[in-house]
Structure 1
Amino acid sequence: MPAIEGMTPTEVAQMAPMAALPPDVVVTGARVRRQTSLVASGAVLSGDELVARARATIGETLAHQPGISSTAFGPSASRPVLRGFQGERGRLLIDGVGTLDVSNTSPDHAVALNPLVADRIELLRGPAALLYASGSNGGVVNTVSGRIPRRAPAGIEATTQLGYGSAATEASFGARVDAPLGGPWVAHFDSQYLRGDSVETGGFILAPIARAIAAASPDLAIARLARLRGPLPNTGFQTWEVGGGLSAVFGGGHAGFSLSNYGNQYGLPTRLSLDPATPQPDTYIALNQLRIDGRFEVDLPAGLLSTLRGRFAWADYRHFEIVRGGPISAAFRNLGYESRVEAVFGRHAWRATLGASYADRDFKVLGAAPLLPPNRTRQYALFALHDLDLGRLKLEGAVRFDQSDVRAVVDPILRNPPLGRGFGVWAISGGANYALLPQWKLALNASYLERAPVVEELLTQGIDPGTQGQLIGNPALPIERSWGVEAVLRGQGRWGSATIAAHYTDFSSYIFPAETGALVQGLPVFAFTVAPARYWGIEAQGRVPIGRWHGLAIAGNALVDYTEATLAGGAPVPRIPPLRLLAGMSATSNRIDGRAEIEWTTPQSRVAAFETPTRGFVMVNLSLAWKPLPRLSRLQLRLAANNLFDAEARRHASFLKDFAPLAGRDVRLSARLGF
């Protein structure tokens, strides 16, 4: 493959499938960059690494990347936690526009995004992130799919995959076809089906403090919960998705649309009640999203304007929360629309991206105890990104303005006052990347970010199954403001590769749900409030080739990350992941890819008021991928054993960590065939 750094995304997309691009290439932005040339940190998951890491949720798929954990609300609902940031501070995108779901409303709501059909997943930070959001302190996660074809294949290209996982008796099937139809037209079809039973865990279901409370109970049924092991109650799931797209591909660009339907029915992990007077019923969610997407992109051969691109998406999302064996307790309906247009100016050393976006969200919750009143949010944005390549020195700067208007009417059950608020927020970021030596580059960036409070922070009232508590919104919340700096040192050569990043963020007005210490129906009360806060952290990762053995290339890799967050007065910010270390070795050839890794997550004892500590854990993971037929190189068989020794593991960022550990030993088998 020729050198691609500096090419436009259109040029690269027409040269090769997105899934086949090198794993250190970032395609989201004005021009394609190697990660070593970025002015900020980031991550890319693609190719065989994405196949190996892909899980049913985007949170668990990314959980082994530097600085990323997950909300881990059972096997079906998990968003990534980026440097300790959750929700709106880590925006999730599908090909550059939002997921248009309600996963930011509560951690028990699944993201309407299927990592199993992604071509690549990219994490953006620094100036490039301002193309998509103004307050994403943790970064922006963009899932790149091939549902709207960007290139015309020479013939029909198809892939099918079968999978099995032992922890949840999980079975999956997926298929994808891309076919030229003659002339400029290219069609795409994909489908995915995944099902599983309640997931088997390692160790006890309850965390130590909850076990002690249960063991001391005079109620024998509750006392028995202290010894409960095995399946995590009420966590079975069934997910399916069907999508198709049609695109006209021509020299220098493409234009097309896609239609997809995503469904997911899954149980919410049971919060085992330790009070006989307040039993907690089992609940499951049945969701569906119908989505239409469109995209065009054109590279212009001459003149100041070099590229024009646009995206839109419309989605009708709805889900029902149903008490098992009982009635529907709540119905969520979200009609969402998002569009954006970008014009890229300049060629060669200088590029400037100017753009605008519009988003509209009409959101309703119906039921006996709605969590929110009917509301509508409209958002308009203008943004600009400048990129200057001076050889050894690369400069980048961006500015963004967002205007958000939030409206809510009176709900007869909640009896809330009507709300009408508007927020105008600014974001500015700039950075540089300098080649200190031929093999070492230093990147520095700084940013000032503002974020408008979202409707969930302003208006939530009632018991939320996701936080397993009573949430109280604050309609008077101000704009969240922060500034941050980051330094990244990257090295790459025949000796291997290494990246070290350090980051610091200071909030003058940090919005978060603080636990009050009160209980309602046996559940804790969380009230949205604002306070100054500081985040800082480090991340380091490296890979070193060790040598060759019987035709196998042996390499070692390691990763460490740590984040600390403190509120004004010295109290810790809740749900911050602890120090983590991961080390592994790989042995690869044209036909074999074997890996072994050990992950050590340390205990988290630095906790907020009313928050419980979390024990550390050690996981050992093994995997082996094999291409058995030399003449059929796209047939791959994979065997993996995750959490080999069945460790009891909990993610501190999870609201449900004391009642829902991670999966125990999980033996996974898959077969993938492409032609």
Structure 2
Amino acid sequence: MNSKKYNKNILLGSTAGFLLAGNVAQASESELLDFDGKDLEEIVVSSVYKNRKIGETVGNITILSRDELTRSIDSSLGETLRHLPGVTSTFYGPGSSRPIIRGLGGNRVMMLDSGMGAMDASSTSPDHGVAIDPATAERIEIIRGTSILAYGSSAAGGLVNVFDGRIPMRAAEGLSGSATLGYRSNSRGVEGSARLTGNLWESGDEALVFYVDASASDLGNFRIPGYAESEILHDAEGHDDHDDDHDDDHDDDHDDDHDEDRGEEMFGKVDNSSLTKKAGSFGLSYVTYKGFIGFNVKLLNTNYGLPIGHEHHEEDHGDDHGDDHGDDHDDDHVDDHDEHGEEDIRIDLDQIRFDMMGSLSLDSSWLTALDFRFAYADYEHIELEGDEIGTVFTNEAMKFRLSTTEKFSDTITGSSGLSYRTRDFEAIGAEAFIPAVEANQLGLFTVKEYSRGDWRFDIGARYEHSTYNISNSVTDTRFAAFANNDLSFDAFSISATAGYDVTEGLFTGLTLHRTERAPSLEELFSNGPHLATNSFELGNPNFDKEQATGGEFTLRFDDEAVYTQFNAFYTYYDGFIYENPLDREVDELPLFAYFQRDVTMKGMEWEVGYDLGEINGFDIHLHGQVDYVRFKREASVDNKNLPKIPPLSGSIGLEAKSDVWSFRVEADMAGDQNKVAEDELRTEGYTLVNAFVSYRPFEDRDISLNLKAMNLFDEEARQHTSVLKDVLPQPGRDIRLSLSVAF
């Protein structure tokens, strides 16, 4: 076995330049789904540049192969990825967890389904699930930072691109497929997935290729090691029966003798946290030696509980906001509403999606390929309050992308293109907090790359024109002022990158960028109760576009035994938009308002891997990672912290692998988060131990039996980035068993 090749697929943190080309509808992508076992330098970043190797890029990219996904796969995209450097999640239970990258979430992190947006409502609110099922993914790319503006200047945090091969891009080599069946002890749940692809017809260089997949999950309420409510919130509410220091030891025994004043609190299990999910798709492609054209239809249904009732929220914990809610928000914007009851809330989510894409190789002297993508989705989710329908969210969206691949000489290449998207979003019901909006965006982008010797240079730019049109039929008094008050924004972004191979195996690079982002519809138009998040949300239609100026430094070393990469980044935001709780309530719901302030962001990510050699037929590998990010309002404002920023975190692990067995044990750690915003409670850190064992009994058959133990010692852990952190901890000990077969 080539230990070096294997280990680099474990630790695929690497570097990415200004990735504006970004067209996944490139013929080269079809070659990338078989990259397992290749050296890191041979892996092309399909989300970014055609034929670009990871080792030739500046920034920070992680690629998860199917084998790595077997270890990390979870019920949601956020929980699948949150163990990676610089990544955490919004954790709102098993049904809804969206990735947060470098402390940025919402529409600042773009969710892509094979290169096109998820076209759901997950960026609208943390209780809305991402309409991408990781169960059938073949690989996932995570690109951090501003180096992905081909997909939109809003994605300042990065993107997550999930590839599942739903549209075949080359002829199949016989019939192939895979299936997985698994069981989880914590939620007493079962899950499974299957996929199949092959040629319906083949003649010479032509083929008609089909693809079909299906997946399903049925998970019960999950168990936790203690109380759902944190001691910090419990004490802040006036129950001072705990020591104020709150030792990091969380009563490892988890004694059953509860404190008298906590006797009726949720303990040991989170009610209304169950999940059922069903998904399936069918695709067909016509493939020739010049390219391909294909389509896919996908159906998704998810029903999941929002595990916390309306009675929990943070009350008056901190200083007043002073002028924050005097300058930005008009009190007249908040109307009277009826008092709300306390019912279990569930989300019933449905999406039907149609994708089409193609690629054509050209014989032009400088224009080498033409690629296009089209996607349409009809999305609906219903918030069920007990047996009653509360609020219905609908999102009908269409996206189109056309791009070229250019080669002017052996040293100068590039890509240019345009994208267009339209979105009809509507929230229907007495508790709708956003008016009906039609959002449109036109984008133009170009990137050019120059390489000479050990140097590589990239420069790129993107222009976007975004419009928001409020329905003329608005009758709700909260939104009547928005009718016929259309908004438009013009955003221009530019970035330049230089990379240099110092010596063999040592690479360094620098990216400088200036980006602009139009406010999202939630930031502009929110004005109403959102019971699923136990809040009254308030936006501001007077927000200006958000501007960011900054840079990122990359240093990477790679030889036969050691791999390490360090990334440091800094960004100054002129008019950063964020949501923060206020020390007041509207109809017994805490008021959450959006603000626009000047903010600085700084942070770093460091990864290291070391091959310890071979012992008794096992390749031994040690790996570790650490990441840190900090957001603060400018000193000219008040130099205060922003809310929901992840703490210092990291992990260390040891892995041993042979041709038959694979063993892995790791410690996942997060520090205390004491640098909190006004009216935000601090969060205690944690250390979770996870273990993984895989057994492949047959040399000539791809069959594996996998055993995974998450949170092995049943410790309490809370994600500071979750709005429910003080009433919803991470699941306790979970033993997962799965069987995977591929042919």
User: Which interval holds the TM-score relative to the shorter structure?
Assistant: over 0.9
Q: 2:714 aligns with which of 646, 649, 652?
A: 646
Residue 625 of structure 2 is aligned to residue 562 of structure 1: no
One-letter amino acid of the counterpart of residue 369, structure 2? T
Change (3 A) 1:222 1:427: farther
State the distance in 1 between where 2:61 and 2:29 align: 21
Query: TM-score, normalising length from structure 2?
Result: 0.86
Task: Note the C-alpha offset of 1:61.
Answer: 1.1
Aligned to 2:672: 603
Q: 1:21 to 1:34 in 2, by over 3 A?
A: farther
SS at match of 1:212: helix
Q: Secondary structure at the match of 1:17?
A: helix
In the TM superposition, residue 212 of structure 1 has moved relative to its aligned partner by: 2.8
Maintained 8 Å contact 1:126/1:447: no
**Of 707, 712, 726, which residue of structure 2 is paired with 1:658?**
726
**Is the counterpart of residue 442 in structure 1 residue 503 in structure 2?**
no
Flag the structure with higher strand content. Answer: 1
Shift of 1:521: 3.7
Q: Deviations over 1:267-310 (max 9, x none)?
A: 001146269x9863210000100000001012224521111101
The aligned runs of 1:281-296 (5 Å cut-off) are 281-296=343-358
Deviations 1:459-489 (A, max 9, x none): 1111224543110010111101111110010
* One-letter code aligned to 1:585: L
Number of the residue aligned with 2:465: 403
| Counterpart Cα distance in 1 of 2:259 and 2:432 | 32
* Aligned-residue RMSD, C-alpha: 2.4
Cross-structure match for 1:318: 380
Kept in 2: contact 1:646–1:665 (CA 8 A): yes
593, 598, 619: which one aligns with 1:527: 593
* Structure 1: 4+ residue segments shifted above 6 A: none
**Percent identical:** 30
Distance in 2 separating the partners of 1:70 and 1:188:
31
Q: Is 2:544 the partner of 1:478?
A: yes
Distance 1:243 1:348 in 2: 41
Partner of 1:256: 294
Q: How does 1:493-532 map to 2 (within 5 A)?
A: 493-532=559-598
Whichever residue aligns with residue 645 of structure 2, its letter is I
Select the residue among 389, 395, 416 that pairs with 1:334: 395
Q: Residue 458 of structure 1 is aligned with which of 503, 506, 524?
A: 524
Q: Does 1:247 align with 2:285?
A: yes
Q: 1:581 to 1:163 in 2, by over 3 A?
A: same
Q: Indicate the residue corresponding to 1:212 in structure 2.
A: 235
User: Does structure 2 conserve the Cα–Cα contact (< 8 Å) formed by 1:267 and 1:283?
Assistant: yes
Partner of 1:586: 655
Corresponding residue for residue 113 of structure 2: 94
Is residue 391 of structure 1 aligned with residue 453 of structure 2?
Answer: yes
Distance 1:362 1:329 in 2: 20
- 2:146–2:156 contact (8 Å) kept in structure 1: no
Q: Distance in 1 between matches of 2:299 and 2:405?
A: 33
Match of 1:413 in 2: 476
Determine the structure 2 residue equivalent to 1:669.
Answer: 737
The letter for the 2-side match of 1:353 is S
Change (3 A) 1:19 1:267: farther
AA paired with 1:477? F
Residue 188 of structure 1 corresponds to which residue in structure 2? 211
Q: Distance in 1 between matches of 2:599 and 2:341?
A: 37
Compute the displacement of 1:336 (Å): 0.3
Q: Are positions 1:141 and 2:160 aligned together?
A: yes
Q: Which moved more, 1:459-468 or 1:576-585?
A: 459-468
Report Cα offsets for 1:37-95 as digits up to 9, x if no partner.
Answer: 21222221123112211112111111111111101111110111110001111111112
Residue of structure 2 aligned with 1:265, choices 298, 303, 306: 303
Shift of 1:415: 3.5
Map residues 141-180 of structure 1 onto 2, 5 A cutoff. 141-180=160-199
1:237 is matched with which residue? 275
For residue 593 of structure 1, what is the amino acid of its counterpart?
S
Stretch moving more, 45-54 or 661-670? 45-54
Amino acid at match of 2:70: V
Match of 1:544 in 2: 610
CA distance in 1, matches of 2:139, 2:529: 37
Matches of 2:425 and 2:260, distance apart in 1: 39
Deviation for aligned residue 1:171: 0.6
User: Partners of 2:435 and 2:345 in 1: how far apart?
Assistant: 22
Pair 1:635 & 2:703 matched: yes
Distance 1:254 1:586 in 2: 40
**Inter-CA distance 423–124: structure 2 relative to 1 (3 Å threshold):** same
CA distance, structure 2, for counterparts of residue 137 and residue 375 of structure 1 = 23
Q: Is the 8 A contact 2:310 2:534 kept in 1?
A: no
> SS of the counterpart of 1:33?
coil
The separation in 1 between residues aligned to 2:385 and 2:663, in whole angstroms, is 44
For residues 365-380 of structure 1, the aligned pairs below 5 Å read: 365-380=427-442
Equivalent pair of 1:468/1:655 in contact (CA under 8 Å): no
Q: How far is 1:587 from its partner?
A: 0.2
Residues 604-647 of structure 1 deviation map (CA, whole Å, 9 limit, x = unaligned): 01100000000111100000111012221x10110010100011
Aligned equivalent of 1:572, options 633, 641, 650: 641
- State the distance in 1 between where 2:399 and 2:169 align: 20
* 2:685 alignment partner AA: G
Separation (CA, whole Å) in 2 of partners of 1:21 and 1:295:
28
The one-letter amino acid paired with 1:504 is: Y
Contact 1:213 1:274 survives alignment (8 Å)? no
Deviation sequence 1:180-222 (CA, Å, 0-9, x none):
111210000000001101111123211113323668499x999
Partner Cα separation in structure 1 for residue 349 and residue 259 of structure 2: 33
Partner of 2:334: none
Does the CA-based 8 Å contact 2:431-2:531 persist in structure 1?
A: no
Q: Name the SS for the 1:131 alignment partner.
A: helix
1:404 is aligned with what amino acid?
A: S
Aligned residue runs from structure 1 range 55-134, under 5 A: 55-125=74-144, 128-134=147-153
Structure 1 unaligned spans of 5+: none
One-letter amino acid matched to 2:415? T
Would the alpha carbon gap of residues 509 and 493 (structure 1) be closer, same or farther in structure 2, given more than 3 Å must change? same
Name the CA shift for 1:222/1:120 in 2 (closer, same or farther; >3 Å): farther
CA shift in 2, pair 1:127/1:33, >3 Å = farther
Change (3 A) 1:322 1:222: farther
Comparing 354-363 with 517-526, which one deviates more in the overlay? 517-526
Q: Is the 8 A contact 1:19 1:119 kept in 2?
A: no
Q: Alpha-carbon deviation of 1:426?
A: 0.7
Contact 2:32 2:46 in 1 (8 A): no
Amino acid in the other structure paired with 1:378 = N
Counterpart residue identity of residue 72, structure 2: R
Relative distance call for 1:153 and 1:256 in structure 2 (3 A) is same
Deviations 1:112-159 (A, max 9, x none): 001111111112356751111113221122112200001212200010
Q: Which amino acid aligns with 2:522?
A: E
Q: Which runs of 5+ in 2 are unaligned?
A: 6-15, 242-257, 314-338
